[in-house]
């Protein structure tokens, strides 16, 4: 099995090297596509040094900030592995959990890492309620039985990821991926993962308005997108 990792990055000069080190330690990782989405700090400089030092790391630079969805789409176009997994750059998600997702991998289904299937020692972030509501909304619309539709950890066969023809630019990419999988009746299997939430003061980027965009994206897909 060959696994490609996509890491969308925006102003993460303090964490990106540590995240990449953890990612590259994991078995099956063939390549890591890091998309710098118009960072205003020194993230791009750090990434260029890492790319020079490790042939598995490839960087894409967006001249301006376009959003997580745009970064994910850029990454999907460049991956070479049989499977693709999205990894945030803020240390909320632990790459050591890859093995849990990979153990369930199949060319005919998606594997999600759910933050709600594990008793988390860290207090769940205040976005918890919004995630529960939007996930229940998704389940009603598409007949899915998910606990965490907005998880970052979505393991997809590369062929399926590309066939979804994604177009979202922002965080609503999470809803677009899940909604399109649900509408196409592609099974989604959830496995437990660990999660260490980051505060807005520490750099967390998703906002309340992003949840609204997610609801609207689910509706758009259900009604014919």
Q: What is the pLDDT of the chain when averaged over all its residues?
A: 91
Q: How many domains does the chain have?
A: 1
Work out the pLDDT band at 207, boundaries 50, 70, 90.
low
Write out the DSSP string of 137-192: HHHHHH----S-TT-S-EEEEHHHHHHT-----STTHHHHHHHHHHHTT--EEEEE
Work out the pLDDT band at 139, boundaries 50, 70, 90.
very high
> Residue 129: what pLDDT?
79
Instruction: Dig out the tokens for 38 from the structure.
Output: 């118009």
Does the pLDDT at position 142 exceed 80? Answer: yes
Does the pLDDT at position 23 exceed 50? Answer: yes
CA distance 62 to 116: 33
Work out the pLDDT band at 198, boundaries 50, 70, 90.
low
CATH code of residue 200? 3.90.550.10
Which residues are bridge partners to 58 per DSSP? 33
CA distance 84 to 2: 9
Which residues are bridge partners to 33 per DSSP? 6, 58
Residue % of the chain over a pLDDT of 70: 90
pTM above 0.85, yes or no: yes
Residues in the chain: 225
Range of the domain at 216: 3-222
């Amino acid at each position: 099995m060959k696994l490609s990792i996509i890491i969308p990055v925006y102003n993460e000069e303090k964490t990106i090297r540590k995240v990449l080190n953890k990612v590259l330690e994991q078995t099956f990782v063939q390549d890591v596509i890091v998309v710098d989405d118009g960072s205003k700090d020194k993230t791009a400089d750090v990434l260029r040094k890492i790319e020079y030092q490790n042939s598995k790391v490839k960087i894409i630079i967006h001249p301006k900030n376009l959003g997580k969805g745009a970064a994910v789409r850029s990454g999907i176009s460049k991956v070479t592995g049989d499977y693709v997994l999205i990894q945030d750059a803020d240390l909320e998600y632990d790459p050591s959990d890859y093995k849990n997702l990979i153990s369930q991998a199949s060319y005919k289904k998606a594997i999600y890492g759910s933050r709600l299937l594990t008793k988390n020692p860290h207090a769940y972030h205040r976005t918890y309620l919004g995630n529960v509501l939007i996930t229940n909304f998704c389940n009603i619309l598409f007949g899915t039985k998910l606990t965490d539709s907005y998880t970052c950890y979505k393991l997809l066969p590369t062929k399926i990821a590309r066939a979804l023809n994604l177009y979202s630019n922002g965080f609503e990419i999470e809803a677009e991926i899940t909604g399109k999988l649900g509408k196409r009746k592609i099974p989604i299997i959830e496995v437990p993962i660990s999660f260490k939430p980051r505060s807005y003061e520490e750099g967390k980027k998703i906002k309340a308005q992003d949840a609204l965009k997610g609801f609207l994206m689910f509706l758009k897909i259900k009604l014919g997108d």
